[in-house]
Amino acid sequence: MKQDKKFLKELPERLEMALEILSNCELCPRKCHVNRLKSDKGFCKTGRNAVVSSYGPHFGEEKVLVGRFGSGTIFFTHCNMACVFCQNYDISQLGKGNEVSAQELADIMLELQGTGCHNIKIL
Ligand code: SF4
Protein backbone atom coordinates (compact mmCIF):
# COMPACT_ATOMS: atom_id res chain seq x y z
CA MET A 1 0.00 0.00 0.00
CA LYS A 2 2.84 2.39 0.87
CA GLN A 3 4.50 1.44 -2.44
CA ASP A 4 1.25 2.22 -4.33
CA LYS A 5 1.09 5.72 -2.84
CA LYS A 6 4.74 6.36 -3.67
CA PHE A 7 4.18 5.17 -7.24
CA LEU A 8 1.10 7.33 -7.72
CA LYS A 9 2.98 10.36 -6.40
CA GLU A 10 5.83 9.74 -8.83
CA LEU A 11 3.56 8.98 -11.80
CA PRO A 12 3.33 12.50 -13.31
CA GLU A 13 7.10 12.89 -13.19
CA ARG A 14 7.63 9.42 -14.70
CA LEU A 15 5.16 10.25 -17.47
CA GLU A 16 7.04 13.46 -18.27
CA MET A 17 10.32 11.54 -18.42
CA ALA A 18 8.82 8.86 -20.68
CA LEU A 19 7.40 11.45 -23.08
CA GLU A 20 10.74 13.26 -23.19
CA ILE A 21 12.52 10.03 -24.09
CA LEU A 22 9.91 9.29 -26.79
CA SER A 23 10.47 12.72 -28.34
CA ASN A 24 14.06 11.75 -29.15
CA CYS A 25 13.80 8.01 -28.78
CA GLU A 26 16.48 6.29 -26.76
CA LEU A 27 14.19 3.69 -25.23
CA CYS A 28 16.47 0.90 -26.36
CA PRO A 29 20.14 0.60 -27.36
CA ARG A 30 19.25 1.27 -31.03
CA LYS A 31 19.02 4.96 -30.04
CA CYS A 32 17.22 6.01 -33.23
CA HIS A 33 16.62 9.60 -32.03
CA VAL A 34 13.29 9.86 -33.84
CA ASN A 35 10.36 11.81 -32.46
CA ARG A 36 7.84 9.11 -31.68
CA LEU A 37 5.40 11.65 -30.26
CA LYS A 38 4.91 12.71 -33.90
CA SER A 39 4.71 9.02 -34.86
CA ASP A 40 8.10 9.20 -36.59
CA LYS A 41 9.45 5.67 -36.72
CA GLY A 42 12.88 4.23 -36.06
CA PHE A 43 14.20 0.70 -36.35
CA CYS A 44 11.29 -0.83 -34.41
CA LYS A 45 8.68 0.88 -36.65
CA THR A 46 6.58 1.81 -33.63
CA GLY A 47 5.25 5.36 -33.45
CA ARG A 48 3.39 7.13 -30.68
CA ASN A 49 1.21 4.16 -29.71
CA ALA A 50 1.79 0.47 -29.17
CA VAL A 51 0.58 -2.01 -31.78
CA VAL A 52 -1.00 -5.15 -30.34
CA SER A 53 -1.26 -8.34 -32.33
CA SER A 54 -3.26 -10.35 -29.82
CA TYR A 55 -3.78 -10.91 -26.12
CA GLY A 56 -5.29 -13.46 -23.80
CA PRO A 57 -4.61 -16.00 -21.07
CA HIS A 58 -1.50 -17.97 -22.02
CA PHE A 59 -0.77 -21.45 -20.71
CA GLY A 60 2.46 -22.20 -22.54
CA GLU A 61 4.79 -21.16 -19.73
CA GLU A 62 6.01 -22.78 -16.54
CA LYS A 63 3.21 -23.82 -14.20
CA VAL A 64 4.30 -21.34 -11.57
CA LEU A 65 3.59 -18.50 -14.04
CA VAL A 66 0.31 -19.72 -15.52
CA GLY A 67 -1.38 -21.13 -12.41
CA ARG A 68 -5.01 -22.06 -12.99
CA PHE A 69 -6.14 -19.11 -15.08
CA GLY A 70 -3.16 -18.36 -17.26
CA SER A 71 -0.60 -15.64 -17.71
CA GLY A 72 -2.17 -12.49 -19.16
CA THR A 73 -0.11 -12.20 -22.32
CA ILE A 74 -0.05 -9.24 -24.70
CA PHE A 75 1.77 -9.70 -28.01
CA PHE A 76 3.21 -6.41 -29.20
CA THR A 77 4.35 -6.06 -32.79
CA HIS A 78 7.59 -4.53 -34.08
CA CYS A 79 10.28 -6.02 -31.86
CA ASN A 80 13.54 -4.07 -31.88
CA MET A 81 15.68 -7.22 -31.73
CA ALA A 82 15.05 -8.68 -35.22
CA CYS A 83 16.46 -12.12 -34.35
CA VAL A 84 16.79 -14.28 -37.48
CA PHE A 85 15.24 -17.27 -35.69
CA CYS A 86 12.15 -15.44 -34.37
CA GLN A 87 9.16 -17.78 -34.09
CA ASN A 88 6.77 -14.79 -34.23
CA TYR A 89 8.20 -13.17 -37.35
CA ASP A 90 4.85 -12.04 -38.77
CA ILE A 91 4.16 -10.20 -35.54
CA SER A 92 7.63 -9.01 -34.56
CA GLN A 93 8.84 -7.89 -37.98
CA LEU A 94 5.82 -7.65 -40.30
CA GLY A 95 3.75 -5.79 -37.73
CA LYS A 96 0.51 -7.74 -37.93
CA GLY A 97 -1.66 -6.01 -35.37
CA ASN A 98 -3.71 -2.97 -34.42
CA GLU A 99 -2.52 0.31 -32.96
CA VAL A 100 -3.98 0.95 -29.51
CA SER A 101 -4.17 4.09 -27.41
CA ALA A 102 -2.84 4.13 -23.86
CA GLN A 103 -6.42 3.86 -22.60
CA GLU A 104 -7.13 0.86 -24.83
CA LEU A 105 -3.93 -0.82 -23.65
CA ALA A 106 -4.94 -0.23 -20.02
CA ASP A 107 -8.38 -1.68 -20.80
CA ILE A 108 -6.74 -4.81 -22.26
CA MET A 109 -4.71 -5.26 -19.08
CA LEU A 110 -7.78 -4.80 -16.90
CA GLU A 111 -9.72 -7.26 -19.05
CA LEU A 112 -6.96 -9.86 -18.56
CA GLN A 113 -6.98 -9.17 -14.83
CA GLY A 114 -10.76 -9.56 -14.86
CA THR A 115 -10.54 -13.00 -16.42
CA GLY A 116 -8.38 -14.15 -13.50
CA CYS A 117 -4.93 -14.03 -15.12
CA HIS A 118 -2.26 -14.20 -12.46
CA ASN A 119 0.01 -11.62 -14.08
CA ILE A 120 0.41 -9.41 -17.13
CA LYS A 121 3.15 -10.43 -19.53
CA ILE A 122 4.28 -8.52 -22.59
CA LEU A 123 5.86 -10.29 -25.54
S1 SF4 B 1 14.27 0.81 -32.03
FE2 SF4 B 1 12.38 1.81 -31.42
S3 SF4 B 1 12.48 1.87 -29.15
FE4 SF4 B 1 14.57 1.51 -29.91
S5 SF4 B 1 15.46 3.57 -30.04
FE6 SF4 B 1 14.65 3.03 -32.08
S7 SF4 B 1 12.60 3.96 -32.11
FE8 SF4 B 1 13.27 3.84 -29.95
Distance, in Å, from the CA atom of 123 to the CA atom of 110, rounded to the nearest integer, reads 17
Residue 55 has φ and ψ, to the nearest 5°, of -160, 160
- Report the percent of the chain where pLDDT is more than 90: 89
Domain range summary for the chain, segments of one domain joined by +: 1-43, 49-123
30, 43 Cβ separation under 8 angstroms: yes
What average pLDDT does this structure show over 102-110?
Answer: 97
pLDDT tens per residue, range 4-38: 898 899 999 999 999 999 999 999 999 999 999 99
CA of 32 to the centre of ligand 1 (A): 5
What average pLDDT does this structure show over 48-74?
Answer: 95
Residue 20 has φ and ψ, to the nearest 5°, of -65, -45
Distances (CA, A) of 51 to 24, 76, 82, 85, 119: 19, 6, 16, 22, 20
103, 50 Cβ separation under 8 angstroms: no
* Per-residue pLDDT, 84: 92
Q: Is the pLDDT of residue 3 over 90?
A: no
Ligand 1, CB within 6 Å, residue ranges: 25-28, 30-32, 34, 42-44, 46, 80
DSSP label of 77: S
CA of 85 to the centre of ligand 1 (A): 20
| Mean pLDDT value across the chain | 94
